[in-house]
Amino acid sequence: MTDQEPKRPRWLAARTETGALITGIGYTVLFILFLLIAVGGGSAWNVLLGILCAVLAAVEWATYVYWRRHRG
């Protein structure tokens, strides 16, 4: 028999700790970029994209914390 991966919660976005870290950093950078554009006179789309990036970054950072706690 082959070893199967343990079941992981459905809300986890990344499959590995490193993937969650890289993606979390990327979404955080995009959030800051859209925030700066919106403050500098951007449109409502910049605000909406910034909010979307903030939500996605939060999910990725939560995934990263989950993988850190459950590695082993």
Model pLDDT for residues 3-61, shown as the tens digit of each residue: 566 666 676 777 888 888 999 999 999 999 999 999 998 888 999 999 999 999 999 99
How confident is the model at residue 2, as a pLDDT?
Answer: 55
d(CA 42, CA 27) in angstroms, rounded, equals 19
- The dihedral region occupied by 41, where left means phi > 0, alpha psi between -120 and 50, and beta the remainder, is left
Distances (CA, A) of 66 to 26, 47, 69: 18, 29, 5
How confident is the model at residue 1, as a pLDDT?
Answer: 47
